């Protein structure tokens, strides 16, 4: 048997040779759009804090007040003594936003997905999943030990063909998709998937991690086309546009009751700290009271795609597919030289051969900087030209 050290070293060598060895970089977020990294102040286009609410004064004040009143941690699972009173308020607010009967807050989005799916389906059942769905939807599907069949990205005909063949052999079926795809920024065809789910008696589940707060008037991807699509399982996270941490599911009262009784990541994990719950409530206040502000990340992303002649952004996320991991890293370094922080996204986060720059736009990115970023991308990344002699020095 090989030693643990040998195993780890050999694996890391493989990752190095493929330009896939990831390393943590100290990053101090200075405010909504600035980050301090490698000793430089960079304008970040890699943060999911789309509404810059993590530092919003009302959000921070709510978190501080909750921390002082209820303490730093919740102290136990919510089913034991961890269910501080702020949870009920947040769950009511989420259910109202998503127009469902009820909601359940989890410790994180990852915990939500890995708890919800195995609570609803098991070895006798079928999970159809978009091939580009987030890793934690996949993890939930695998944990359920169901038959898991991927369908080609947003390909309704493929999903239908799989249902036609496989649905009759399974007792229950669930269709899982991102609402806004995390690495591509496109929207799932939720209305058509809902119709398909209805036809084949399957349950549709959307992961709206990147939709809540910023698409569909802040209500998320189920509302993106101006009408409410009936998605019975609307999951999401509080860690992106909401600016804090935590996950949730919005669904019917019966489903939420069942989840609280069956989802292992809910039952056997400590309740979210009070400060995070209070912060999320305050963030929802901002989103509901300032719809024009909540619309800004998409406006900014669209300005960027217009500058570059890319397909119009559907969400605050814009990918620029570069191909190989090494090329994506080089493009990211080049942008860093120009004062922009745009992280290269590599396999296994995205499929092999589709390494990319992933631009995330926030409400507070100035238009002039978006124009300059687009200019640099067009002149330097897309053509791979040598550095300009006089690059403006952000963060000098």
Ligand X SMILES: Cc1ncc(COP(=O)(O)O)c(C=O)c1O
33, 120, 126, 136: which one binds ligand X (CB under 6 A): 136
Spatial contact of 173 and 202, defined as CB atoms under 8 Å apart? yes
Closer Cβ to ligand X, 241 or 286, answer by number: 241
Beta strands 126-130 and 233-237 are unpaired
Among 46, 52, 108, 265, interactor with ligand X by CB under 6 A: 108
Sheet of strand 317-323: strand arrangement = 317-323, 355-360, 344-345
Which of residues 52, 206, 239, 354 is near ligand X by CB under 6 A? 239
Closest-CA residue to 214 (of 300, 275, 138): 300
Region from 50-58, 107-115, 297-305, 380-388 binding ligand X, contact rule CB under 6 A:
107-115
- The count of chain residues that interact with ligand X, using the rule CB under 6 A, is 13
Query: Of these, 52, 74, 177, 237, which contacts ligand X (CB under 6 A)?
Result: 237
Tokens of 256: 């939420």
Q: Which residues between 298 and 357 bind ligand X (CB under 6 A)?
A: none
d(CA 165, CA 161): 6
Q: How far is the CB of 183 from ligand X (least distance, A)?
A: 8
Q: How do beta strands 247-251 and 317-323 pair?
A: unpaired
- State the nearest-atom distance from the C-beta of 244 to ligand X, in Å: 9
Interface residue with ligand X among 134, 302, 356, 372 (CB under 6 A) is 134
Return the residues of window 164-223 that contact ligand X according to CB under 6 A. 178, 182, 207, 209-210
Active site residue: 182, 222, 315, 332, which one? 182
- Which of 210, 222, 332, 365 is an active site residue? 210
Minimum distance of ligand X from residue 246's CB (angstroms): 7
Kind plus residue range of the DSSP H or E element containing 136:
helix 135-143
Q: Does residue 239 have an active-site annotation?
A: no
Counting Cβ atoms within 10 Å, is residue 311 exposed (0-12), middle (13-18) or buried (19+)? exposed
For residue 348, whether the previous peptide bond is cis, meaning omega lies within 30 degrees of 0, is yes
Q: Does 249 help bind ligand X (rule: CB under 6 A)?
A: no
How many CB atoms within 10 Å of residue 81? 11
The residue number with the shortest CB distance to ligand X is 109
Residue 259 CA to its chain's centroid (Å): 21
For strand 203-207 and strand 147-151, is the pairing parallel, antiparallel, or unpaired?
Answer: unpaired
The CB-of-156 to ligand X minimum distance in angstroms stands at: 20
- The full DSSP string for 302-323 is HHHHHHHTPPPPSSSEEEEEEE
Complex with ligand X: residue 220 or 339, whichever CB lies closer: 220
Report the Cα–Cα distance between both ends of the chain, in Å, rounded: 53
Does residue 91 interact with ligand X by CB under 6 A?
no
Q: What's the closest the beta carbon of residue 106 comes to ligand X, in angstroms? A: 8
Among 271, 288, 159, 266, residue whose Cα is nearest residue 218: 288
> Per rule CB under 6 A, is residue 109 in the interface with ligand X?
yes
Considering only 115, 216, 243, 247, the residue that binds ligand X (CB under 6 A) is 247
User: Please, are residues 63 and 279 in contact by the beta-carbon 8 Å criterion?
Assistant: yes
- Kind and range of the H or E run holding 175: strand 173-178
Catalytic-residue membership of 98: no
The yes-or-no answer on residue 182 being catalytic is: yes
Question: Binding mask 7-46 vs ligand X (x if CB under 6 A, - otherwise)?
Answer: ----------------------------------------
Q: Interface with ligand X by CB under 6 A: which residues? A: 108-110, 134, 136, 178, 182, 207, 209-210, 237, 239, 247
Catalytic residues: 182, 210, 240
């Amino acid at each position: 048997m090989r030693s643990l050290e040998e195993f780890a070293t050999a694996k890391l060598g493989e990752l190095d040779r493929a330009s896939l060895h990831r390393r943590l970089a100290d990053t101090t977020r200075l405010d909504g759009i600035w980050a301090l990294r490698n000793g430089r102040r960079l304008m970040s286009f890699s943060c999911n804090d789309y509404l810059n609410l993590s530092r919003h004064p009302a959000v921070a004040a709510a978190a501080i007040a909750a921390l002082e009143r209820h303490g730093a941690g919740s102290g136990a699972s919510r089913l034991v003594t961890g269910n501080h009173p702020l949870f009920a308020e947040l769950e009511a607010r989420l259910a109202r936003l998503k127009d469902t009967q009820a909601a359940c807050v989890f410790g994180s989005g990852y915990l939500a997905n890995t708890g919800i799916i195995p609570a609803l389906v098991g070895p006798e059942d079928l999970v159809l999943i978009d091939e580009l769905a987030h890793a934690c939807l996949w993890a939930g599907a695998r944990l359920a030990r169901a038959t898991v069949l991927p369908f080609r990205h947003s390909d309704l005909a493929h999903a239908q063909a799989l249902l036609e063949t496989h649905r009759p052999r399974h007792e229950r079926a669930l269709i899982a998709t991102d609402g806004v795809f995390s690495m591509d920024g496109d929207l799932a065809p939720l209305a058509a998937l809902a119709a398909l789910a209805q036809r084949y008696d399957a349950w549709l589940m959307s992961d709206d991690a990147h939709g809540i707060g910023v698409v569909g008037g802040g209500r998320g991807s189920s509302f993106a086309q101006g009408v409410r699509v009936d998605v019975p399982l609307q999951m999401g996270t509080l860690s992106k546009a909401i600016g804090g941490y935590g996950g949730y599911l919005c669904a019917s009262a019966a489903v939420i009751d069942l989840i609280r009784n069956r989802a292992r990541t809910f039952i056997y994990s400590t309740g979210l700290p009070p400060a995070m719950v209070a912060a999320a409530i305050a963030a929802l206040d901002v989103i509901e009271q300032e719809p024009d502000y909540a619309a800004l990340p998409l406006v900014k992303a669209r300005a960027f795609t217009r500058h570059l002649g890319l397909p119009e952004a559907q969400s605050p996320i814009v990918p620029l597919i570069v191909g190989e991991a090494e090329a994506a890293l080089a493009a990211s370094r080049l942008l860093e030289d120009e004062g922009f922080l745009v992280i290269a996204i590599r396999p296994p986060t995205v499929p092999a051969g589709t390494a990319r720059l992933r631009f995330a736009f926030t409400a507070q990115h100035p238009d002039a900087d978006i124009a300059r970023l687009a200019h640099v991308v067009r002149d330097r990344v897309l053509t791979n030209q040598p550095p300009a002699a006089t690059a403006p020095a952000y963060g000098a």
